[in-house]
Amino acid sequence: MITYKDAGVDIKRADDVLNRIKHKITGTFNPHVLTSIGGFGALSEVPRQYSDPILVSSTDGVGTKLKIAFNADKHDTVGIDLVAMSVNDVLTMGARPFFFLDYFATGHIEERVYESVITGICEGCKMADCALIGGETAEMPSFYRAGEYDLAGFAMGFVERDKIVNGSTIQEGDVVIGLASSGLHSNGFSLVRKVLFEVHNLKVHDRVEGLSEPLFEALLRPTRIYVKPVIRVVDRFAVKGMAHITGGGLPGNISRIIPEGFGVSLNVSQNRVPEIFKLIQKFGNITAHEMCSTFNMGIGYVLVVDKKDEEAILIQLKESGEDAFHLGIIERASRGETVQVVFNP
């Protein structure tokens, strides 16, 4: 007699691990969550403080950054990345992330790895003030390479209809504020891996001149979650536009929120560019344009605000622990000149 376990799927093992970390998951719950873990669906009430709530949703993964985690056997940060990629996107609309769903798929569940990943997801949810309300763990034998897994995340948030931030009110003279990234965040890793591991044959545990830590530590530093400090700004000031700097870099993401007929020249200090970007550019002989179009270059999130509010917003962000700084001023521009990036000494 052949069982499901004989075929490679051990439901009991997955349940045992989930039960062991259940307290971490329920630790992310808020009073609006109406169900516990284990149901076919998750129930949540709409927060009553909203008079005309609009749902804002986003979904994303961690991409090939996971390959670095596999090779380094370090799995405690990619869960934070997973949460960050979706909640930061929801945030750009002025919405508060409210709950999160995760999808973990692998060929064979390794309890230590699985627990580490889910713990990271819980940590990310706490950073974002959202509940890990549900998820799916899929064990699919022979579908994934041994020791590998994939992740997907889904965030849902709320914003008042008249408080939606979409860039439509941006005008000439508005200022662009940048918030520092923690490093690479979670995009561009196909290029990173090509340059560092295929062309230069480096190993994840190598120490490379210019970095003060092993290579894998710089590569796996988790994506910064900007929810709490930015929501404080949105609650107090009229923020006109926001962008999460992911794939497409500064030009590709900021241009998505600037109305037609306007543009901005971003002045970025070389001192603000983390060493890991300089290393990748040098090793890959990559042009500045390609770097800016692929990576965040040390700027993970951007706000567009009225000039009169800039100083107060910068002060508030810095009091919240953010490295925030002036990036540029919105100007009239012809088509095709929306965003330019200038690196200064």
Q: Using one digit for the tens of pLDDT, what is the confidence trace for 129-183?
A: 999 999 999 999 999 999 999 999 999 999 999 999 999 999 999 999 999 999 9
Please state the rounded mean pLDDT for residues 315-336: 91
* Higher local confidence (pLDDT), 224 or 25: 224
pLDDT tens profile 40-63? 888 888 888 899 999 999 999 999
pLDDT tens profile 252-311? 999 999 999 999 999 998 899 999 999 999 999 999 999 999 999 999 999 999 999 999
Give every strand in the sheet of 96-106, ordered side by side. 53-61, 149-160, 96-106, 131-139
Distance CA 162, CA 96 (A): 14
Whether residue 25 has pLDDT greater than 90: no
**Beta strands 262-269 and 339-344: pairing type?**
parallel
What is the reported pLDDT for 22? 85
**Beta strands 53-61 and 149-160: pairing type?**
antiparallel
- Residue 255: how many other CB atoms lie within 10 Å: 14
Distance CA 118, CA 335 (A): 45
Letter for the amino acid at 253?
Answer: N
- Which DSSP string do the residues of 113-139 spell out, in sequence order? HHHHHHHHHHHHHHHHT-EEEEEEEEE
Distance CA 57, CA 100 (A): 10
What is the reported pLDDT for 335? 64
What is the reported pLDDT for 48? 85
Which residue segments constitute the domains of the chain, with CATH numbers given?
Answer: 11-163 (3.30.1330.10), 175-344 (3.90.650.10)
- Which residues sit opposite 340 in a β-bridge? 265
- Which residues sit opposite 301 in a β-bridge? 179, 244
Distance CA 30, CA 25 (A): 11
Distance CA 120, CA 325 (A): 29
What does pTM read for this prediction? 0.95
Environment class of residue 142 by beta-carbon count within 10 Å: exposed (0-12), middle (13-18) or buried (19+)? exposed
* Whole-number average pLDDT of the chain: 93
Distance CA 245, CA 300 (A): 5
